[in-house]
Structure formats: structure tokens, C-alpha cells
Amino acid sequence: MAEISGKQLQVLERLIGDAEFRKGFFEDPDAAVAKAGIELTEEEMAGLKGLDFGLLSSALYDLDMRLSKTAATAATTAASQAASDMASAVANVVAAMFGTKGVII
């Protein structure tokens, strides 16, 4: 099994992280790679062209969906934590203003 070159890895990283590049690569790999300014040997390009684009596309779509769900969960968790932090801060301010402890809001 051939090793992946650093330049092939650059292309794969772009395929994963850049939807516009991914679309262009699936339509015309040579043009997309040239536009990105990544210079590949014929062998490196042939290796990339040998990818199962249907499988790769499906895997990347699945990855996009998982990342979206993860981001939504993280945002919800962060918002919940921020609300909890705000409630604690308000309780501390109220306690300091009125000289009480354990103020329930």
C-alpha cells in the first residue's frame, strides 16, 4: 500500500473542510487542485482520482451531519452553562446587596 504524500493530505484536508473545494473536486479534480494552488505529481493525482467518490462523498456527508449535531449540542450546552453562570452571578449580587446568603431565585 502506497503512503499518502503531504500534498495528497492537503487535498484530503480540503475535501473534508471546504465544501466549495469538495464540489469542484468531484466535478473536475485537476481544475480544483490547480485552483487551490496545490501542485501534485501525476502519481499523486492518480491516487486521488482513484478514490471511490461515491463512498467519500457519503462519508463526508455523514461527517458534516455529525459535526452539525455536535455543534448544536455544544451550543445548547454552552447556552445552558451560561444561563446557570448568569443565575449564580445574579444570586451573588443580590446576596451582596441585601447581605443575605443562599438567596433563591
In a domain, 83, yes or no: no
| Dist CA 94 CA 105 (whole Å) | 9
Note whether 25 and 33 are within 8 A (CB).
yes
* pLDDT band with cut points at 50, 70 and 90 for residue 2: low
Please calculate the CA angle 102-87-96 and round it to the nearest 5 degrees.
45
In a domain, 33, yes or no: yes
DSSP string, 40-93: --HHHHHHHHTS-HHHHHHHHHHHHHHHHHHHHHHHHHHHHHHHHHHHHHHHHH
Domain holding 68, by residue range, is: 6-75
In a domain, 101, yes or no: no
pLDDT tens digits, one per residue of 17-32: 898 998 999 899 999 9
Please state the domain count of the chain. 1
What size, in residues, is the chain? 105
pLDDT tens digits, one per residue of 67-82: 778 877 877 776 666 6
In a domain, 105, yes or no: no
The arithmetic mean of pLDDT across residues 77-90, rounded, is 61
Note whether 22 and 15 are within 8 A (CB).
yes
In a domain, 100, yes or no: no
In a domain, 81, yes or no: no
In a domain, 104, yes or no: no
In a domain, 99, yes or no: no
